[in-house]
Amino acid sequence: MNTEGEAVLVKRMALAVLPLLVFGCAAAPQAFASDERTIGVYVALCDNVHQGIVPVPKAVGDGDDPDHNLYWGCAEGFMGVFGKCPNWKKEPTINLSSPDVLRTHSCRHVSGKAALTAFAYRGSAIEQCLKDFKAAICQGKFDLVVYLGHNGLMDFYLPGTAPEAGRKKTPECMVMCCMSQRYFCKHIEFMQATPILLTTSLMYPGSFILRDVLEEWIKNSGIKAYRAAAGRAYAANQKIPLKAATGVFADLEAAPSKEGHLSAAEPVTGSGKEQGSTSAEQKNGAP
C-alpha cells in the first residue's frame, strides 16, 4: 500500500474509534437500559355478575368485554388513561395464551426509566388475577407490582404466600381497591414486599391515580409524595376536598403495618378457599 493509501486508512480508523473515546464504549446505551425499572399491573375487569360489587351500568360492568370495561377500556380505565398519555409510549406486546387474560398492554415511559406491562383479567377470574399478582411479588418479576380492581379478598380467602428462595428483586407494590390496607397488609408483609400505596376506605380505582403516582415513583420521590399525588388525582376526579381525598390513601409513613400479621397456624402455600365457618373477611385480615 502506498503512503497516500495508508494515510487514508489511518484517518478512517481514527474516525471510527473517536466515538468510543468520547462516549466511553459502544455498549454505553445498555448501561442506561439497565437502570430502567419494570412495572406489572394486574387488572381484574369490573364484573356485575361475578364480583361482590354495587352494580355499575351493564355496558361497563361486563367482565368479558375489556374494551368497554370500567377498569380497562373506559376513559378512566387503564387503556383509556395510559393508551392516550403522552408520557407512555406503546411497545410491542406479547399476548398470553391464557383464557383468563383477555388483554395485555406494554408501554415505556418517555424518560426511559420505566417499562410497564398490564394484564386485563376476565372479571370471573378475579381470584386468579390476585393469585398472579401475589406470585409476581413472590417471584420478583417486576420492581413494582400493582393490583387494580375490586377487593376480591372481601369475597374469598387466599392463603399467605412466602417469597421464593433466591428472589432477585424485592418488589414494591400498590393495591388500588377498596380498603386495601385492611385486607392486604399482612399478605404484603408475609411476601416481604414494600407497600407504597394502599387505601383506607371504599374508593374508585381509576387509572388516573396510577398514572400520577407513577410520575413520582419514576423520580423516586418517596412514600409521602406518592400519597400526595394520589390524593390530588382523586380530589380532581371526584370533586372532593384535597384533605378528604388524601385520607382515602393510607399514611404508610405513620403506620405501614396497621393490620395484624399472618399467624403461624395459617397456611402459607396452596390455593383455594379454606374450609370452615370463618368468613373471608376475618381470614384475610379485617377485624
Bigger pLDDT: 6 vs 106: 106
- Per-chain mean pLDDT for the chain: 83
First to last CA, the chain: 87
Instruction: For residue 165, give the DSSP letter.
Output: T
The string of DSSP letters for 47-102 reads -TTTS-S----GGG--TT-GGG-TTTTSTTSHHHHHTT-TTEEEE--PPP--SSEE
Pairing mode, if any, of strands 172-176 and 114-121? unpaired
pLDDT one-digit tens code per residue, 217-273: 999 999 999 999 999 999 999 999 999 999 999 999 986 555 543 433 333 333 333
pLDDT one-digit tens code per residue, 138-193: 999 999 999 999 999 999 999 999 999 999 899 999 999 999 999 999 999 999 99
Q: Which residue has the cell 399467624?
A: 263
- pLDDT band at residue 53 under the 50/70/90 scheme: very high
Provide the CA 247 distance to its chain's centre, in angstroms.
21
User: Which grid coordinates are listed for 64?
Assistant: 368479558
Pairing mode, if any, of strands 101-109 and 114-121? antiparallel
**Backbone phi, psi, residue 233, to 5°:** -65, -40
* Alpha-helix runs per DSSP H in 191-286: 207-218, 223-238, 242-247, 280-283
Quick one: pLDDT at residue 38? 98
User: pTM, whole model, 2 decimals?
Assistant: 0.81
